[in-house]
């Protein structure tokens, strides 16, 4: 079905239940806002196939706009509001946006979000096919130039039922949406809420110190994490009061962090896997935790590793949820696929039970003097240091080898760290070729909007051989 049809079905089934929290808005009332927004966009000349960009902070407005655009058969282009005008303009030109919804001045045809804040009982009458594009999602650019993933309605609606079933999401659940709706993780989480008839509490951004306040504000039962978010919550001095947070779903948490989170807060941690090009394709089982596993394939997606069982190879995906391709980039699209399988660029291995385990990003593997160094292994050693809050490792150009190992470490509040101590610590836990050549003690690490470490900035800083200022 289309994204609009999925939403309308939720309205019919869960009409008086809240879809948005604080302030609560029912599915029926929210439908009138979405339909009104669609009419307002139509009056501004937006039609089927037109691209509508949004440069707005994370809020329910983005969800309203996306669903309205979907009902028109148009294409939503959500852009990170942290980008400067010089960074936005090439993306707007590449997307061929006919309109930008924003609250800041841009040299582009634009409208303010409040001008779309109207209601209507029904949406404009437009034929929309599930295979039509509904989102043009630009990757965060942490591994190179941004790419525009063309996603169809099916990209979102196909995985939603199995995801909701796997996690046991129900209408009574209250989802804390602290990942941005201008990235896939935030969008797919919102769609899963609509599929389940659950409620959504949208916050502007993730905050470790404010996390438990946000949980209490929305009486949240489920939230979605990425990257270092669980670590930051664990290391925050803020302790939760009584809470009902039963489940944390996401990707990128180390097994020891996931176990500690569950033991300390009583919240199950379920790992999964997906990317802008695929949506969610792997998901664990909250009733059968497998530390270190990203779970099993989520129907209707198929996932394989191009290596025998137990051996490391590239993770590849196929199924109806895949992107249609990269916008206006047929060469890159052809390179991304081998036959009908998408090459993710991620390395992993599959066990005998079809659980897939992450190994490394192909582009993150460091090549040092003929050896391959997995940054995650070095980062795990850094995390065990009693004075380290966060650590990240990248490869940088080396004088004596292809690459040197560069570590960036953030000390715990009040702790002192020096580079020599960190290297000594690593020597007791790692082979000599894995020990960082360079250690930078920094006050924070650069993060993408989805709380992943921005390794491109780390590589740039490490290549210059000096402590950075993010």
Alpha-carbon gap, residue 220 to 336, rounded angstroms: 38
3-state secondary structure of 185: helix
- Residue 140 has what pLDDT? 55
411 with 418: CB under 8 angstroms? no
Contacts of 272 (CB under 8 A, 6+ apart): 249, 250, 251, 280, 282, 283, 284, 294, 295, 298
Helix (H) / strand (E) element for 104: namely: none
Largest separation between any pair of C-alpha atoms in the chain: 69
Which tokens belong to 345?
């660029």
Tell me how far apart the alpha carbons of residues 188 and 228 are, in angstroms, rounded to a whole number. Answer: 20
Residue 468, pLDDT score: 64
Q: Residue 329 and residue 458: Cα distance in Å, rounded?
A: 28
Consecutive H or E run containing 354? none
pLDDT reported for residue 141? 45
What is the rounded end-to-end Cα distance, in angstroms, of the chain?
43
Structure tokens at 265: 């807060």
Cis peptide before 259 (omega within 30 of 0): no
Distances (CA, A) of 445 to 388, 407, 415, 423, 457: 12, 11, 17, 19, 9
- Sort 26 into a burial class: Cβ within 10 Å, 0-12 / 13-18 / 19+: middle
Angle, CA of 432, 435 and 441, to the nearest 5°: 160
- Name residue, tokens 């800083």: 461
At residue 94, what are phi and psi to the nearest 5 degrees?
-65, -35
C-beta of residue 378 within 8 angstroms of C-beta of residue 411: no
Burial status of residue 322 (CB atoms within 10 A of its CB: 0-12, 13-18, 19 or more): buried
Closest to 21 in 3D by CA, of 217, 249, 243, 244: 217
Average pLDDT per 10 consecutive residues for the chain, totaling 470 residues: 98 98 98 98 98 97 98 97 88 97 96 98 97 92 69 98 98 96 95 98 95 98 93 93 96 91 97 96 94 95 97 96 96 95 96 93 82 88 95 88 90 94 95 92 89 88 71
Residues linked to residue 403 through DSSP beta bridges, in sequence order: 397
**Domains annotated on the chain, with CATH:** 3-157 (3.40.50.980), 174-361 (3.40.50.12780), 367-464 (3.30.300.30)
Asked whether the bond before 204 is cis by omega within 30 degrees of 0, the reply is: no
The answer to whether 159 and 280 are in contact (CB under 8 A) is: yes
Q: How far apart are CA 30 and CA 35, in angstroms?
A: 9
**Number of neighbouring beta carbons within 10 Å of residue 395:** 24
pLDDT at 401 (0 to 100): 62
Tokens representing 269 are 């941690």
- pTM for the structure as a whole: 0.87
């Amino acid at each position: 079905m289309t994204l609009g049809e999925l939403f309308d079905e939720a309205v019919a089934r869960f009409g008086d239940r809240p879809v948005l929290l604080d302030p609560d808005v029912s599915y029926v009332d929210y439908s009138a806002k979405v339909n009104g927004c669609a009419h307002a966009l139509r009056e501004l000349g937006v039609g089927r196939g037109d691209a509508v960009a949004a440069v707005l902070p994370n809020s329910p407005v983005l969800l309203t706009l996306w669903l309205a655009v979907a009902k028109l058969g148009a294409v939503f282009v959500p852009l990170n509001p942290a980008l400067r005008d010089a960074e936005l303009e090439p993306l707007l030109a590449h997307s061929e946006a006919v309109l930008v919804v924003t609250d800041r001045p841009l040299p582009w045809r634009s409208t303010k979000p409040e001008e779309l804040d109207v209601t209507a009982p029904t949406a404009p009458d437009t034929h929309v096919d599930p295979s039509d594009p509904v989102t043009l999602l630009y990757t965060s650019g942490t591994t190179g130039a941004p790419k525009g993933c063309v996603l169809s309605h099916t990209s979102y609606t196909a995985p939603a039922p199995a995801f909701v079933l796997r996690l046991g999401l129900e209408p009574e659940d209250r989802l804390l949406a602290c990942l941005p709706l201008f990235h896939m993780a935030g969008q797919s989480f919102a769609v899963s809420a609509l599929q389940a008839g659950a409620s959504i509490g949208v916050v502007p951004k993730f905050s470790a110190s404010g996390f438990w306040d946000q949980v209490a504000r929305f009486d949240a039962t489920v939230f979605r994490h990425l990257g270092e978010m669980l670590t930051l919550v664990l290391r925050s001095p803020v302790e939760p009061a009584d809470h009902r947070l039963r489940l944390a779903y996401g990707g990128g948490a180390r097994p020891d962090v996931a176990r500690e989170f569950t033991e300390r807060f009583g919240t199950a941690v379920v790992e999964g896997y997906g990317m802008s090009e695929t949506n969610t394709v792997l998901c664990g089982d909250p009733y059968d935790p497998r530390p270190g596993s990203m779970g099993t394939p989520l129907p209707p997606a198929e996932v394989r590793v191009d290596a025998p069982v137990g051996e490391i190879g590239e993770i590849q995906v196929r199924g109806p949820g895949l992107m249609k391709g990269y916008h206006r980039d047929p060469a890159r699209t052809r390179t991304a696929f081998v036959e009908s399988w998408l090459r993710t660029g991620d390395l992993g291995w599959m066990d005998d039970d079809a659980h897939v385990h992450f190994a490394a990003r192909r582009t993150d593997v460091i090549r040092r003097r003929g050896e391959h160094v997995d940054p995650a292994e070095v980062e795990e050693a850094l995390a065990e240091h009693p004075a380290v809050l966060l650590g990240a490792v990248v490869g940088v150009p080396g004088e004596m080898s292809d690459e040197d190992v560069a570590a960036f470490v953030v000390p715990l509040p009040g702790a002192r760290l020096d580079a020599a101590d960190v290297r000594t610590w690593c020597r007791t836990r790692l082979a000599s070729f894995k020990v960082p050549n360079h250690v930078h003690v920094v006050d924070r690490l650069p993060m993408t909007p989805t709380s992943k470490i921005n390794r491109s900035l780390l590589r740039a800083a490490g290549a210059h051989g000096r402590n950075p200022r993010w």
